[in-house]
Structure 1
Amino acid sequence: MSAPVTEDSDVAVDPRRTKRSIRARRMADGASVGWKLLLVKILAMGVIDALAVYSVIVLAQTAQWVPIVVILLVTGFANYIYFSRGNLPAKYLIPGLVFLFVFQIFAAGYTAYVAFTNYGTGHNSDKDAAVNALLLQAQERVPDSPAYQLTIVERFGEFSFLVTDPDGEVEIGNDLDPLTPVEDAQMQGGRAVGLDGYESLGFADIVANQAQIAEMAVPLSDDPNDGSLRTPDGSTAYVYTSKLVYDEVADTMTDTRTGVVYADIGTGAFTAEDGTELLPGWRIWVGTDNFERAFAEDSIRGPFLSVLVWTFVFAFLSVATTFVLGLFIAIVFNDPRMRSKKYYRVLMILPYAFPGFLSALVWAGMMNQEFGFLNVVLFGGADIPWLTNEWLAKFSILLVNLWLGFPYMFLICTGALQAIPDELQEAARVDGASAWQVFRSIKFPLLLVAVAPLLIASFAYNFNNFSLIYMLTGGGPRDAAAGVNVGATDILITMVYKVAFVGSTADYGLASAFSIMIFLIVGTISVIAFRQTKALEELN
C-alpha cells in the first residue's frame, strides 16, 4: 500500500510540463526583439519584391517571358522561405545561390549563347530596329517639304515634337512614337506652344540640347516609308524621306536611286546579288560558325594557334620561374643560421603587397625604349626595344611576372617547409643522407603535397593574367597580317578582350567562342592535374 499524501508532501512534477514552460519562457524572452526582426524582414523583402515587380514590367515591354517566369518563381520561393517557420538552412543559402546564378551561371550561359550568334558591330539589335536604322540613316529632306511649326516639349526626360502642320492641325510624337493628333494644346498665334503634362523648352534649353534634338526623327505614321520630321533649328520641322524603301511583304530593301534590291538571305543583313550588305544588320543564330572561323580562316587560325601556344608557354614558365625562385629564397631563409630573417622577409614580400597593375605600369615606364630607367641608367643610354621587339617583349613579360609572383611562392613554400617535421630530416642525416638527398627525397615530395594544388591554381591564374599583359605591352607588337586584333604577346584572354572591345569593329560572337575554348582548356587541365596530385597524397 502507498503512503497517503499529506499537505506537507512534495507534489511530483510532470517533465513534459516543465519543458513546455521552459519553451514558453524562451519565446516570451524573444518576443521583445522578435517584432524588430520581423520589421527588418518585411522591409528587406519589400525592397526585393519591388525590384522584382519593376523588372517584370520592364521585361514585359519587350516580351521577354522566360526571364519574367524565372524572376517570379525565385521571388515567390524567397518570400515563402523567409516568411515561413523553419527552413533555416535555406534562408542562408538563398542569397548565395542568387548571386551564384546571376554572376556565374547566367554570365556563363549568356556567353555560350552569344558564341552561337553573329552579335557584334553592325549586328547589335533585332530586325525591326535594323530596318528603322537603315531608313533613318538614308533619309534626305524632301525638296518641296512644307514647314511644320515646332515646339520642343519634354516629359520624364524625353523630348517630343509638338507640331502644327500647314492646315493648323496639332500633333505630337517622338523617336519611338509616330505623330498622333492632340486637341487640348495651348495655342498662340495659330501655333501650338504647350501641352498639359509636358514642359515646353525655351531657347536656352534648345541650345543646350541641340545635338540631341537635331538627331531626332519623328515618324509621320506607323509606316516607316512615309518619312519623318526633323528640325535644323528647333522651331521648324521638315519632312525627310529615305532613299531606301522597305517592302515588308517581299522582305526586301530597295535603293530608289540605283534600283538595287537588297534581300534577306539569312545572313543577318540585307544583301544585294553582288554580295554587298546594308549595315546595320541584326542578330541571328549562326550555329558553330564562330568556332569554325577560328580554325578554318587562315587569317584567324594562324594567330589563334600562335596565341594559344604562347599562352601555355607563358603560364608554364611563369609558374616554374616564380616557384623555383620562391622555393630557393624560402630554403635560404629557413636555415637557422640565417640572421635578421624577419626583416629580409618583409623586403621579399613588398612586390606582392603592391597592386599588380600599378607595378606593371611602373615597369612599362622603366622599359621605355627612349626614356626608360633600364636603357638610360643601367645600359648607358642604349636603345633596347624591351616592349616593341617580339622576343624581348616576351622576355620582359616573364621578367616582370617573376618580380610580381615570386613573393607568393616564397610565402607558401616557407609555410610548407616549416610544416615538415624535423625528426624526418634528422633521421635521414643519421642514416648518412646528404643535404641534397634529404631535400630531393624528403623535403621536396612533402613540399609538393602542400603546394601542388596551389601551383595548379597559379597556372590557371597566369593562363588568364590579363592585367600584366595589357598594362605592360597591350598585347603588342601588333600582327598586321592577322584577321583579328592580336599581337605577339597577347594571351587568349587579352585576345578575347581586343576582339570584343578594341578597334573600330567588335565581334562578340567570335570573342565568346574563344572564351568557351579558354574555359574548356583550363577546366580540362585543372581536372587532369588535380587527379595527378592524388598520387602525392600517398606520401602523407
Structure 2
Amino acid sequence: MTRGQQPPQQRATKKTHSMDSLKGTLAKVVLLGLVDAFAVFVMITLFLGESWAILAIAAAVTLLVNWIYLRKGGLPAKYLAPGVFFLVIFQVFVVFYSGYIAFTNYGDGHNSSKEDAISAIQMTAQKRVPDSTAFKTAVLQKDGELFLLFTAPDGTVSVGSATEPLTTVTDATLDSTGKAASLPGFETLTFAQIVANQTDILSISVPASDDPAEGSLRTADGSTAYAFKPNMVYDSNTDTFTDTETGDTFTDNGEGAFANANGDRLATGWKINVGFDNFVRAFTDPNLRAPLLNVVAWTFTFAIASVILTFSLGLFLAITFNRDDLRGKKVYRVLMILPYAFPAFLSGLVWSGILNPQFGWLNQTLLGGAEIGWLTDPVLAKISVLVVNLWLGFPYMFLVCTGALQSLPTELDEAARVDGAGAWRVFRSIKLPLLLVSIAPLLIASFAFNFNNFNVIYMLTGGGPRFEDTTRDIGSTDILITLVYKVAFGQGTGRDYGLASALAIVIFLIVATVSAISFKQTKALEEVNR
C-alpha cells in the first residue's frame, strides 16, 4: 500500500456512509415535498375563503418548517418540531379558541356572520308567490346530488340544485309535451326513484340567483314547481327587515339579532362578542344559578369522595395481597384489576342495567323484586354513582399502592417492630407518610380526573334525576363537565357554545387552583419526610 492511500476497509466505510447520506437526503426531500404540497393546498383553500390571518400563519409555519429541515445543524429542532406543531394545534389552539368562544354568543342561531344571517332569513322566510307560474319539472342526479330541471311556459329550460342557482341550458332533451326530460351528464330519475327520494326532493329549494331576495323554485310532487319569494324584505340602507304580511320592522338590536319594537327576534342571528355576559349569566340566570351551585357542590363531593374511597380500598387490598406468605396472590391481583380492563363507558351502561329500578338484576334477583330507585332517587343515585366509580377506580389505586409498598425499604418495618411498634403504628407512622410522598401527585391527578369524569356520570344516570326548579336538563348527579356538555350540545334549550366555554373556563380555574395548592402541600410533605 503506497503512502497516503486509504485502506480498502476505510474506503468501503466512507462509501457506505455516502450512500446512507444520499438516501437520507432523498427521504427528507420527499417527505418535505409532501408536507409542502399539503401546506400549499391548505393555503389555496384559505385564500379562496379569504381567511387572511390564518393564511399568514400557515405560510409562516410552512417557511419555518422548511428552514428547520433544510438548514445544516439544529438536530434537536428537527426532532422537536413535529411534537411542538401538534401540541400547538391540538392543545394550545383548542384552549385559546375555547377562551375566545366564551366571550361570544356562539350557538344555535348565532353561528356565522351577519351577512350569512341575512341570507338565511331570506331563504327560510320564503312563501309561494300567489298565482305563480307553473314550471314543468324533472328530477336529475349527478355525483350523488339531486338537481331539478325546469321548463318555463315560454320554453326556457334551466337547471339548479339546493347549492347551485338556476342556470339556463340549451342542450336538454324534450319529450312529446315540450317538457325538458333529460340533460347530458345527468341521470333522470324514474317515478319509482322519485318516490324513494321524496323527502329529499321536497326539501330542495333552488335559488333563482345568488341574491336570496329574488326567491327560489320548489316542487311538491317532482313534476311541477312554483316560484317562492321571501316575505321578509331586507333594506341595506336602513339595515332592517320588513315583514310584508304584518308590516313589522326588525332592526339590529346590538345583540346579534334582528328584533322588532316589542322585542320579538328573528330566529337566525349572528356571532358577536359579548364580553363577560356568559360568565355573568352563569351565576344570574334563574334557570341556571341554583342548579349550578348544587352541581358545583356535588362535583367537589364526587371528586373528593371518589379519591378517598378508591385510595382507601386500593391501599387496603394492596396491603392485604402484599403478604409474602399469601398463596395465589398473583391470581388475586389479576382479579383485582379486571374492572380496570373494561372501558368505563361500557361498564357504566352495564351498571345502569343492573341498577334499573324495574327490571334490574339487583332489584329483581337479590332483593326479591323490590322497586328501589337506585338511579331515580336523588340520594340513592349519588350513592350509586360513587359505588360504581369505586368499582371502576380502585384497581388503579391498587396497582399504584402495590408498586409503592414494594419499593419501601423492609429495614424500616423490621426496625419499628424491634422497637415494639404494632402493625397499625407501623402503617400510620411509617408506611403511610412514605406512601403519600410518592402517591400524592397521583391523588391530585385522580382528583382532576374525577372532577371531569364524564363517562361514569353520563352513561350511568345521564345526570339525573332531573331538578324540578329549572327548565334546563340538569339533574342531581350532574357534575360540571356533564353540565357543560348539555349546555354545549342543546340538551333542552339548544346549543350554547359561548356559555359552555365560559363554564369550561370555570372548571379549568377550579382544577388549576386546587392542583396548585395540593402540589404546594405535597412539596411541604416531601420536606417533612426527608
Aligned with residue 476 of structure 2, among 488, 498, 507 = 488
Compared with structure 1, are the counterparts of its residues 383 and 171 closer, same or farther at alpha carbon in structure 2 (3 Å cutoff)? closer
Name the counterpart of 1:519.
508
For the residues of structure 1 that align with 2:37 and 2:197, how far apart are their CA atoms? 34
Compared with structure 1, are the counterparts of its residues 157 and 485 closer, same or farther at alpha carbon in structure 2 (3 Å cutoff)? same
Compared with structure 1, are the counterparts of its residues 91 and 205 closer, same or farther at alpha carbon in structure 2 (3 Å cutoff)? farther
Give matches, 1:20-419, under 5 Å: 26-182=13-169, 198-203=185-190, 206-419=194-407
Amino acid at match of 1:520: L
For the residues of structure 2 that align with 1:317 and 1:115, how far apart are their CA atoms? 30
Alpha-carbon shift at residue 184 of structure 1 (Å): 5.8
Compared with structure 1, are the counterparts of its residues 503 and 44 closer, same or farther at alpha carbon in structure 2 (3 Å cutoff)? farther
Contact 1:170 1:192 in 2 (8 A): yes
Compared with structure 1, are the counterparts of its residues 449 and 323 closer, same or farther at alpha carbon in structure 2 (3 Å cutoff)? same
Contact 1:425 1:438 in 2 (8 A): yes
For structure 2, which runs of at least 5 residues remain unmatched after alignment? Answer: none
Contact 2:142 2:187 in 1 (8 A): no
Amino acid at match of 1:452: A
Contact 2:472 2:492 in 1 (8 A): no
Q: What SS is found at the alignment partner of 1:167?
A: coil
For the residues of structure 1 that align with 2:204 and 2:33, how far apart are their CA atoms? 39
For the residues of structure 2 that align with 1:64 and 1:409, how far apart are their CA atoms? 49
Amino acid at match of 2:110: H
Measured against aligned partners, the alpha-carbon deviations of 1:47-73 in whole angstroms (never above 9, x if no partner) come to: 333332332233333321222222222
Compared with structure 1, are the counterparts of its residues 155 and 58 closer, same or farther at alpha carbon in structure 2 (3 Å cutoff)? farther
Whether 1:497 aligns to 2:485 is yes
For the residues of structure 1 that align with 2:233 and 2:23, how far apart are their CA atoms? 65
Q: What SS is found at the alignment partner of 1:439?
A: helix
Name the counterpart of 2:525.
536
Name the counterpart of 2:452.
464
For the residues of structure 1 that align with 2:325 and 2:17, how far apart are their CA atoms? 61
Compared with structure 1, are the counterparts of its residues 194 and 94 closer, same or farther at alpha carbon in structure 2 (3 Å cutoff)? farther
Compared with structure 1, are the counterparts of its residues 83 and 187 closer, same or farther at alpha carbon in structure 2 (3 Å cutoff)? farther
Contact 2:472 2:493 in 1 (8 A): no
For the residues of structure 1 that align with 2:57 and 2:193, how far apart are their CA atoms? 43
For the residues of structure 2 that align with 1:27 and 1:361, how far apart are their CA atoms? 63
Contact 1:193 1:200 in 2 (8 A): no
For the residues of structure 2 that align with 1:536 and 1:134, how far apart are their CA atoms? 63
Alpha-carbon shift at residue 324 of structure 1 (Å): 1.0
Equivalent pairs, count:
525
Compared with structure 1, are the counterparts of its residues 49 and 120 closer, same or farther at alpha carbon in structure 2 (3 Å cutoff)? same
Alpha-carbon shift at residue 227 of structure 1 (Å): 1.6
Compared with structure 1, are the counterparts of its residues 181 and 347 closer, same or farther at alpha carbon in structure 2 (3 Å cutoff)? closer
Alpha-carbon shift at residue 42 of structure 1 (Å): 4.0
Name the counterpart of 1:508.
497
Alpha-carbon shift at residue 90 of structure 1 (Å): 2.0
Moved more, 229-238 or 405-414: 229-238
Identity level (%): 55
Amino acid at match of 1:51: F
Compared with structure 1, are the counterparts of its residues 504 and 47 closer, same or farther at alpha carbon in structure 2 (3 Å cutoff)? farther
Measured against aligned partners, the alpha-carbon deviations of 1:18-44 in whole angstroms (never above 9, x if no partner) come to: 89x96x755520344555544544443
Amino acid at match of 2:367: F
Contact 1:322 1:409 in 2 (8 A): yes
Alpha-carbon shift at residue 274 of structure 1 (Å): 0.7
Moved more, 337-346 or 464-473: 337-346
For structure 1, which runs of at least 5 residues remain unmatched after alignment? Answer: 1-7
Contact 1:127 1:283 in 2 (8 A): yes
For the residues of structure 1 that align with 2:143 and 2:353, how far apart are their CA atoms? 49
Output the aligned Cα RMSD. 2.6
For the residues of structure 1 that align with 2:493 and 2:514, how far apart are their CA atoms? 35
Alpha-carbon shift at residue 278 of structure 1 (Å): 0.8
Alpha-carbon shift at residue 135 of structure 1 (Å): 1.9
For the residues of structure 2 that align with 1:114 and 1:505, how far apart are their CA atoms? 16
Contact 2:452 2:480 in 1 (8 A): yes
Alpha-carbon shift at residue 336 of structure 1 (Å): 3.0
Contact 1:151 1:200 in 2 (8 A): no
For the residues of structure 2 that align with 1:73 and 1:54, how far apart are their CA atoms? 15
Alpha-carbon shift at residue 200 of structure 1 (Å): 4.3
For the residues of structure 2 that align with 1:48 and 1:202, how far apart are their CA atoms? 43
Alpha-carbon shift at residue 297 of structure 1 (Å): 1.7
For the residues of structure 2 that align with 1:390 and 1:191, how far apart are their CA atoms? 67
For the residues of structure 2 that align with 1:192 and 1:30, how far apart are their CA atoms? 71
Q: What SS is found at the alignment partner of 2:220?
A: coil
Contact 1:268 1:281 in 2 (8 A): yes
Name the counterpart of 2:418.
430
Measured against aligned partners, the alpha-carbon deviations of 1:328-353 in whole angstroms (never above 9, x if no partner) come to: 12222223343332222222222222
For the residues of structure 2 that align with 1:394 and 1:361, how far apart are their CA atoms? 16
Q: What SS is found at the alignment partner of 1:278?
A: coil
Whether 1:453 aligns to 2:453 is no
For the residues of structure 1 that align with 2:102 and 2:365, how far apart are their CA atoms? 49
For the residues of structure 1 that align with 2:272 and 2:25, how far apart are their CA atoms? 49
- TM-score, normalization: structure 2? 0.91
For the residues of structure 1 that align with 2:441 and 2:6, how far apart are their CA atoms? 54
Alpha-carbon shift at residue 293 of structure 1 (Å): 0.2
Moved more, 95-104 or 43-52: 43-52
Alpha-carbon shift at residue 367 of structure 1 (Å): 0.9
Amino acid at match of 2:43: V
For the residues of structure 1 that align with 2:44 and 2:201, how far apart are their CA atoms? 28
Alpha-carbon shift at residue 437 of structure 1 (Å): 2.3
Compared with structure 1, are the counterparts of its residues 305 and 18 closer, same or farther at alpha carbon in structure 2 (3 Å cutoff)? farther
Compared with structure 1, are the counterparts of its residues 30 and 535 closer, same or farther at alpha carbon in structure 2 (3 Å cutoff)? same
Alpha-carbon shift at residue 300 of structure 1 (Å): 1.1
Q: What SS is found at the alignment partner of 1:239?
A: strand
For the residues of structure 2 that align with 1:80 and 1:93, how far apart are their CA atoms? 14
Moved more, 306-315 or 71-80: 71-80
Amino acid at match of 1:218: V
Contact 1:252 1:261 in 2 (8 A): yes
Compared with structure 1, are the counterparts of its residues 62 and 205 closer, same or farther at alpha carbon in structure 2 (3 Å cutoff)? farther
- TM-score, normalization: structure 1? 0.90
